[in-house]
Amino acid sequence: MFPSLLLFLLSATTTWTPVSALPADNLPPRDPMITPPPTPTAVIIQQRAAVSEWDSYVGSIVSGLGTSVSSYIASGVPQFFQDLPTGTAVEKSLGISDSDLAAKPTQVLNLPAYGNWTDAGWNVFVHGNVYKVPDISEAKLDDLANIFLIDTDIHDLPPSSQAQARNMTASIFVVQQKDQNVTISFTNDVETGGQTGTVNAPGGAQEIRVQDPTTDQGDFAGWLKLADTTGQNGTPLIAGNETDKIQSLNMHAKGTDSGNATAYLVPPTGITIISDIDDILRVTKIWNPKEGLLNSFARPFTPWMNMPSHYAHWAQTVPNLHFHYLTTTPEQVTRNYMEFIFANYPLGSFDTRPLNFSDVSATLSIRKHLLDLVFETFPQRKFVLIGDTTNSDVMKAYPQLAKDHPGQVQCIWLRNTTATDATFRFPYDTKGFEGIDQSRYMFFVVPDDLTGLDVSKGECYNQTVRQNVTFGMQASLFGSSSGVAPLKERSSTWVALLVALGAAMVLS
Ligand SMILES: *[C@@H]1O[C@H](CO)[C@@H](O)[C@H](O)[C@H]1NC(C)=O
Ligand SMILES: *[C@@H]1O[C@H](CO)[C@@H](O)[C@H](O)[C@H]1NC(C)=O
Ligand SMILES: *[C@@H]1O[C@H](CO)[C@@H](O)[C@H](O)[C@H]1NC(C)=O
Ligand SMILES: *[C@@H]1O[C@H](CO)[C@@H](O)[C@H](O)[C@H]1NC(C)=O
Ligand SMILES: *[C@@H]1O[C@H](CO)[C@@H](O)[C@H](O)[C@H]1NC(C)=O
Ligand SMILES: *[C@@H]1O[C@H](CO)[C@@H](O)[C@H](O)[C@H]1NC(C)=O
Ligand SMILES: *[C@@H]1O[C@H](CO)[C@@H](O)[C@H](O)[C@H]1NC(C)=O
Ligand SMILES: *[C@@H]1O[C@H](CO)[C@@H](O)[C@H](O)[C@H]1NC(C)=O
Ligand SMILES: *[C@@H]1O[C@H](CO)[C@@H](O)[C@H](O)[C@H]1NC(C)=O
């Protein structure tokens, strides 16, 4: 079934997205190797379209693709990495033999974890995936990569971008391993510990097997209770009720060389920053399929303006701050996300989209599911939630958490993506913010709007940043006052992506 999906996607993308149909401001840069930093320019986008026009626009595009698709698209900007093939589907579609695969080393993606302090000691939530990387010829990888690069042939990219596109493609076409036992080895030998408020755990070295074997999609997840083993000089782990500092331990998946990550033992009280990644920490342009895919697949990841310096400043000035990065990008493609974050932003724990959350409704519910787990795990900590207006799930989940846990959400900061990028013209809904005190949240335009706000004192709102939030759908799709190409010229790219999404759903 999968090869026909590929053919379908190839024909869909080549037939329906002529380059000439793209508006000028969406054309790829000549040398797409480096994404230029966006220049913030204030644009005024008029609200010309009623929501019903939007509905019928979406409806006309997706009719025939099934109701699940239209409700998914209608609820916000679609995500690229929907319904990626897994396990035996990859094996069969690429004609990989079991014996070839058996000879390949087992690899583990182990996500940086958080742990909480309970009456029974420290508990760490480990999660990740077990897989093998099959041999795929470069020619085949190029064909597969081209599916993701709308209107762009991999051979037209600079060599470093080609390498990244092949690497990302190879990361998707891995064969996940089910029914595997995963044993995590903890060692108290973290090298740097340089981050303010994070210390190397003095003890805690041990091996623990994750209770459940991997799922059919190769995922593992589980809480591991750390025994209070002692380190050098007989020192045990510091009790969570006796320190404000975050203790870090190295983790390593036994029997492989690839499952290395850090576990953060986070005390019950303090402040946790929960941050989305795309279009807030890095330039993705997720609302523009072609640009978004190039930025995700081929170009080096680029920080969004000077956001790194603000995160660094908080890490240095807010005592014992815990950073948690939460992206709903599926886990296969998140190694690059982690490398990028840890090169540009403070170290911290990580959540990505597990593979069992792949159908439409699960994709839309995963963020809330992951956020709820963090809140349940740290019922006394305070949270700063950071994201941008392009994600409908963020727009819903963040204000909902402020309502469900009134004392716990310290600040909500949302980048108003429309204000700096005229090409983001999808509607987004601010209704969730109705009734939340303006001093608790801010829609901001550039990172410097966050300057000088002391989150430890609950300062979330910079009075100089104009807030004119009407609680409801902010529909900017049809406006064109700033020279943005009108809808007709833009729709063909969307049709291709929507058809691709639809095909993936229908055929998988
Ligand atoms: C910390 O918690 C442990 C276990 O619940 C308890 O025995 C100990 O007395 C507590 N220490 C402090 C300082 O509250
Ligand atoms: C992609 O590159 C990273 C290093 O940047 C490497 O760890 C990973 O194994 C590569 N993935 C594949 C599937 O080749
Ligand atoms: C996993 O561990 C359990 C319990 O020790 C054992 O019964 C099972 O055979 C193991 N599975 C594999 C694939 O090694
Ligand atoms: C992972 O950790 C183990 C144990 O500390 C170490 O031997 C190995 O070299 C590490 N692997 C990588 C790729 O860093
Ligand atoms: C996915 O698996 C996790 C446990 O690993 C479970 O909590 C969650 O409910 C599952 N989600 C779906 C949509 O099946
Ligand atoms: C630790 O986390 C677990 C899992 O989220 C949660 O059930 C438990 O209540 C937390 N313990 C404490 C003391 O907060
Ligand atoms: C975002 O910016 C646009 C353009 O400046 C403005 O019209 C809109 O009201 C802003 N939205 C919010 C929620 O602040
Ligand atoms: C508020 O935003 C302005 C404009 O970005 C910035 O110059 C200023 O430093 C920010 N902070 C405060 C406390 O005014
Ligand atoms: C807020 O937006 C409304 C509707 O666009 C407009 O009429 C009003 O003048 C704006 N208020 C401020 C203070 O900018």
Ligand 3 atom closest to 213 (CA):
1
Compute CA distances 439 → 210, 286, 311, 313, 398, whole Å: 43, 29, 21, 21, 15
| Type of residue found at 290 | K
Give the residue, by CA position, lying nearest to ligand 2 atom 1. Answer: 167
| Type of residue found at 367 | R
Q: Are strands 219-225 and 246-253 parallel, antiparallel or unpaired?
A: unpaired
Give the residue, by CA position, lying nearest to ligand 2 atom 7. Answer: 335
Model confidence, pTM: 0.84
pLDDT per residue as tens, the chain (508 positions) = 222 222 222 222 222 222 222 233 333 333 333 333 333 322 222 233 333 444 444 444 444 344 444 444 444 444 556 667 788 888 887 888 888 899 999 999 999 999 999 999 999 999 999 999 999 999 999 988 887 787 789 999 999 999 999 999 999 889 999 999 999 999 999 976 567 789 999 999 999 999 999 999 999 999 999 999 999 889 999 999 999 999 999 999 999 988 999 999 999 999 999 999 999 999 998 777 678 888 888 999 999 999 999 999 999 999 999 999 999 888 888 999 999 999 999 999 999 988 887 666 677 788 999 999 999 999 999 999 999 998 888 999 999 999 999 899 999 999 999 898 877 767 788 999 999 999 999 999 999 999 999 999 999 999 999 998 889 888 654 443 333 333 333 333 444 444 444 333 332 2
Residue 347 phi, psi (nearest 5): -65, 150
Q: How far apart are the first and last CA of the chain?
A: 8
- Using the mean position of ligand 1's atoms as its centre, give its distance from the Cα of residue 241 in Å: 6
Rg (CA), the chain: 23
Ligand 1 atom closest to 121 (CA):
4
Record the tokens describing residue 59, joined without a space. 């409806």
Domains annotated for the chain, with CATH where assigned, are: 105-134+176-265 (2.60.40), 271-474 (3.40.50)
Ligand 4 atom closest to 260 (CA):
1
Q: Is 354 in the pocket of ligand 5 (CB under 6 A)?
A: yes
Ligand 5 atom closest to 222 (CA):
5
Give the residue, by CA position, lying nearest to ligand 8 atom 5. Answer: 449
Record the tokens describing residue 87, joined without a space. 């396990």
Residue 428 phi, psi (nearest 5): -140, 155
Q: Is 451 in the pocket of ligand 8 (CB under 6 A)?
A: yes
